[in-house]
Structure 1
Amino acid sequence: MSREDTDPAAIGAALYGLTLRAVRRLPREMSLTSAATLATLDLTGPRRITDLAAVQAVTQPAMTALVRVLEESGLVERWGDASDKRVTLVCLTEAGTAYVRARREAGVQAFERLIGELTADEIEALAAALPALQHLAELESQDQ
């Protein structure tokens, strides 16, 4: 294996490019920010609008408008926080959960098709890298 193959910048560039192309290929019934907000709620559970705005790097008024559209679409709902009556939490509805899971499954299937075109050695290399990729995902999710 050459030094270029183990260079973190080269690995990062390959992962970023692959992810970007994969995201762009998914169906676009809604904006990427809307889909990412739904995915965040699916992964982390109910969140305040201010938290969602920070995670998605948008303003609170922009997130409020986005949540209103998602609510009108039946994908999220707002609940009061039992521990603090001043707080409103945004939660996925059953339809929102189904949407996120279907979108995730479509992404998995797209990668499965591509992996099916690799050689056995390439598939083995990806399988060997799986623990590191899962750890990367864990590290990234700590930022949310």
Structure 2
Amino acid sequence: MKHPFFVYGTLRPGEHNHDLFLRGRTASEEPGRMRGIVLYEGPGYPYAVEEPGGVVSGEIVAALPSAYDELLAVLDQLEEYAPGDPRNLYERVVRDVTRGDGTTVGRAWVYVAAPAVAARLRAGGKLIEGGDWHA
């Protein structure tokens, strides 16, 4: 299924990867929130880590139908994600997402820290309070 994407870091509007990777490939972008994840500081970008009770603010990005497969491949490459690769820093998963006003959108792709990375962050990473990297 062709889900929208939930972005929470450098792909958000105004951030350096937004125009490089999303411009011309999106049908819509709107504020959103995802429950069940928290953010940790990374080297110039955040990591999302699955955590019950967490809430992260970001953008819900719907790809243009004609650009969906290309955008999925480009984002996988940006995040250095390959399905099933144990060296992944991120995993691409589908989770529930809501609009900024709380109405349900449905499910969206989101890149979360791979298990080994998540364990390191939980043990010694710096949590981004409030779940909004822009703040």
Question: Does the alignment reach a TM-score above 0.5?
Answer: no
Report the TM-score range of the alignment, normalised by the length of the smaller protein. Answer: under 0.3
Structure with the higher strand share, 1 or 2: 2
Structure number with higher relative contact order (C-alpha < 8 Å, ≥ 6 residues apart)? 2
Structure (1 or 2) with the larger CA radius of gyration: 1
